[in-house]
Chains A and B, each alone.
Chain A
């Protein structure tokens, strides 16, 4: 197949030229094949001795001449101008018909054969060449008519030109269609190339953006640890020095000086707590906060919370009552520090908003698989619409309360996120003027149950 295709196809920069040369090669091959068959047939007839030697000899000669012509045309078609080869072929074909036919036959039955080169000319040379061949044929017909003393058959001549017209239109239309198709193909290729380039650059942008995000993430982590260290260290130092002064390490203080130091320490502590809250929030958002679980006595959780809250409870003259149901195990499993943070946040909030009465804390078992904490206060209550967002970060009931109660509104958000991290839930039930109840429900995990 490769050999035939190489033999038939002629490399050319003009696709129309290449198509015509290929078509001519096909025709040459077909005609050459027919001639060969004829020669073989003649040879057998010769052996059989059925015909006279003179006729056979002229047949041999004609066959050999035509075969030689085909070979010459093939080489012109391959190495010379394609139009010349095609023109010669069409002319050869026409002459062969004209000069091998009797003039009477040419004007009669054989006239039909003359239509073939008209169509061939449109396909092989150029669409308009059909008219030239039609004219040539008309000339031959006229010569034949003159020779045989008859009138030129006008319907036949008209037929030639009609065929030339149809053939011209057909070839023209086909060439236009092919041309459009090639244009379309070129456009498509161009578009594919453009899209590929656009896609590659979009991909590159994505890779770059992704790298930047990764860098930003690393930067955020680094920022967190730096802030953690750089903010907390001086805050700790302020606390330490103030405590030293307050403990009269550097000499006795007046009551007013004591009072001022107390305020320094209280404010420093507030700032430290805020920094810690911000860091917790940032760590939770970055998914860097992990729980450190261990077994611990429930009593530790309670007494740590009580000692943290004692000052506030006494200052506001409120009560803080603890109720532990019998069903709650004395030893629990979980992250004690974070549970402490949850409890202190909730109780601190409850105490902050309560002016009269106090806070009840209930530890109980809502079902076999869980333990729960209720923090019940006698404060002003939380409006219904606010209950939907009090667990969102940086939200407080209204902006004026931020000033009054001091803080970013992160406490409850951190509680919610920590409880979620522990696989539990936190909810609130509240009526205006009836106080609030915050409920934390946590799974009861046996130490060996984890992982």
Chain B
């Protein structure tokens, strides 16, 4: 697994594809997870440099996953990009996200952000 690994947790397939392509364009290797419960499990196994996190997810919501990432010392270098359509929900997160992106998220915007983070990581 490379240093530039990104996990995309988003239940909307189209949006997940766009996020994935934007991160790939920024030089990341990506994996998409559509379900909160699966993501919860997967976060124990991988070391993503970036997690793109939707808040409204089936089974386990984004807020809980953010808490899991923030309390796992293994993942303390992981950057979390919260993607949401609801500014109010982003305000009520229990833990701090590295970046909050308001949907609709532009491909170019996300690619630029990811490139900047990629540079910071490497």
Q: Do A and B actually bind?
A: yes
Contacts of A228 in B (CB 8 A): 85
Among A232, A237, A243, A292, the residue within 8 A (CB) of B108 is A243
Q: Which of A237-296 contact B (CB under 8 A)?
A: 237, 239-241, 243-244, 247, 249, 272, 292
Contacts of A229 in B (CB 8 A): 85
Is B71 an interface position by the 8 A CB rule? no
Contacts of A239 in B (CB 8 A): 104, 106-107
B25–A240 CB distance below 8 A: no
Chain A proximity of B8: nearest CB distance (Å) = 13
A244–B106 CB distance below 8 A: no
The dominant DSSP class at the A interface is helix
In the complex, what distance in Å separates the CA atom of A358 from the CA atom of B25?
39
Chain B proximity of A35: nearest CB distance (Å) = 97
Is A236 an interface position by the 8 A CB rule? yes
Among B18, B87, B105, the residue within 8 A (CB) of A241 is B18
Is A233 an interface position by the 8 A CB rule? yes
Q: Could you give, for residues 106-117 of chain B, a 1 whenever the CB lies within 8 Å of some chain A CB and a 0 otherwise?
A: 111001000000
Is B76 an interface position by the 8 A CB rule? no
A247–B107 CB distance below 8 A: yes
Q: Which 7 A-B pairs have the closest CB atoms?
A: A236-B104, A240-B18, A243-B107, A237-B14, A240-B107, A244-B107, A244-B21
Residues of A within 8 A of B (CB): 228-229, 232-237, 239-241, 243-244, 247, 249, 272, 292, 337
Q: List 30 A-B contacts (CB under 8 A).
A: A229-B85, A232-B85, A232-B104, A233-B15, A234-B14, A236-B104, A237-B12, A237-B14, A237-B15, A237-B18, A239-B107, A240-B14, A240-B22, A240-B104, A240-B107, A241-B14, A241-B17, A241-B18, A243-B18, A243-B106, A243-B108, A244-B18, A247-B107, A247-B108, A247-B111, A249-B21, A249-B25, A272-B104, A292-B87, A292-B91
